[in-house]
Amino acid sequence: MRNSKFVQHYYLGSGALNFLKPLLETKRTANESFVVFVIDHFFNGKEVINQLPITRDDLVLFADTTDEPRAEYIDDLSDKVKSYKPYLPVVVIGIGGGSTLDIAKAISILLTNPGLAQDYQGWDLVKHKPVYKIGIPTIAGTGAEFTRTAVMTSKVKKLGMNSDYSVFDQVFLDPDLLKTVPKEQFIYTAMDCFVHNVESLRGSQNDAMTIAFAEKSLEMMKDIFLGEMDLEKLLVASGMGGIAVANSNVGICHPLSYGLSLVLNLHHGYSICIAFNQLEEYYPEVAEFRRILEKYQIVLPKIINESVSNKDIDRMAEATLKNERPLENAFGKEWRTIFTKEKVIDLIRKM
């Protein structure tokens, strides 16, 4: 049994972002203080930047999210913050998708914990209280705004900093920020949440709380994507899916998607969709997922084609099978006898 942690504070609703300025003012109490804004590079030069209460002494870091966050990149950004002033920032804010939010989480930790990002890949390795941090999602589905994971890839593994210290102190859920997301990215990321719920519900490592969150989130996702779009509701569904999965576990799809992402350098939401689409023998919800893609006119390409070598496929399978906890969640303790490397390779070849 674990002591589960919720994000402590959230603003929800259109215009929520307006409450950032007064909140930061309560933190900027010292004569010498600054705030770090970690912003998805997509927003560089965009209108939303002007809405942010950035003052002269603050540090703005545009996070390059072309690739999934790399541990070394996070180290570089943390070093920039450390060398910016002779003192620490009072707040670290992440504004963007899951990658940006996770980078902000990791930076807040590395500012008060010695060593490199890769030292904290794993479970409960963080020892010191991080800098106060705020998460502001600009896309919905990753759940990163509510989870205790800062996902990252180092040279050897894709594994998050899983720690209560990764949880944001404050979240702003403003549906207005979601309005400019391109359709494909919007759907791929939302489906990450859909899959979180399915994997959490169909695994064994859940409890009455995570089941309630995952069921409600899944129901809301179906309402939103097969019924009427509602961005505020989508932010809530994303958050609830995040809470569910953070306190239970993913299953078969995430490990497969990690293999795809690692070898083919694909974005998380996209590789989740590619993998989930081939998992109907495990997850009956794949049928509804396909109906959603159809409704939004998204056609998933075949990505495992002649340009992908057998060696690459082998690496994907190996990376998939490293995810022992999720696979045990899905198949039980004897998962290795069921979800064999051959089976994994079969699935990958279909993708």
Q: How far is CA 227 from CA 230, 288, 291, 304, in A?
A: 9, 12, 12, 33
Query: Is 190 or 262 the residue whose CB approaches a copy of itself more closely?
Result: 190
Contact criterion met (CB below 8 Å) for 116 and 73: no
Query: Is 92 or 224 the residue whose CB approaches a copy of itself more closely?
Result: 224
Query: Is 3 or 337 the residue whose CB approaches a copy of itself more closely?
Result: 3
Residues that bind a copy of itself (CB under 8 A): 1-13, 15-16, 19, 23, 170, 207-209, 212, 215-216, 220, 230, 232-233, 235-237, 239-240
In the complex, the smallest distance separating the C-beta of residue 257 from a copy of itself, rounded to whole angstroms, is 26
Instruction: Compute the distance between CA of residue 166 and CA of residue 148 in angstroms, rounded to an integer.
Output: 5
DSSP 8-state symbol, 340: -
- Pairing relationship of beta strands 133-137 and 35-40 according to DSSP bridges: unpaired
Contact criterion met (CB below 8 Å) for 351 and 304: yes
In the complex, the smallest distance separating the C-beta of residue 341 from a copy of itself, rounded to whole angstroms, is 35
In the complex, the smallest distance separating the C-beta of residue 125 from a copy of itself, rounded to whole angstroms, is 18
Contact criterion met (CB below 8 Å) for 158 and 68: yes
Phi, psi of 302 (to 5 degrees): -85, 115
In the complex, the smallest distance separating the C-beta of residue 240 from a copy of itself, rounded to whole angstroms, is 7
In the complex, the smallest distance separating the C-beta of residue 12 from a copy of itself, rounded to whole angstroms, is 5
Instruction: Compute the distance between CA of residue 114 and CA of residue 317 in angstroms, rounded to an integer.
Output: 34
Tokens 């340009």 identify what position? 307
3-state secondary structure of 133: strand
In the complex, the smallest distance separating the C-beta of residue 22 from a copy of itself, rounded to whole angstroms, is 10
Which candidate, 221, 222, 220, 198, places its Cα nearest to that of 210? 198
Query: Is 214 or 327 the residue whose CB approaches a copy of itself more closely?
Result: 214
Instruction: Compute the distance between CA of residue 164 and CA of residue 175 in angstroms, rounded to an integer.
Output: 26
